[in-house]
Structure 1
Amino acid sequence: MWYNNILETVGNTPLVKLNKIPAEHGIKATVLAKIETTNPGNSIKDRMAVKMIEDA
């Protein structure tokens, strides 16, 4: 997959199921972690920056 510009790569970050941590603590729920480091700036702040650019 390719993108037209860097702004299109922000967001839609993957969710990853955590298996070991919940099991070690006796948690019977599905625990997911959002991997924001897949954004170009490695941060959730990328989403806010894109929103400011779009609103300008």
Structure 2
Amino acid sequence: MSSWKCQNCGYMFESEAPPNECPSCKEKCEFVDNTCYTPDCDAGGTGGIDPRIK
């Protein structure tokens, strides 16, 4: 499962695909996949979320 971050309000959640609207701000937003895909990404124990994605 991927981790997604709303570009509007910053809300993060896990889902197979991003929804049409953000569960938090209820807006139609762009979502960034912030899942760690490389071992060095999760070196700090972030739980699979890439801390480099703001």
TM-score scaled by structure 1? 0.28
- Greater fraction helix: 1
TM-score scaled by structure 2? 0.28
Larger Cα-atom Rg: 1
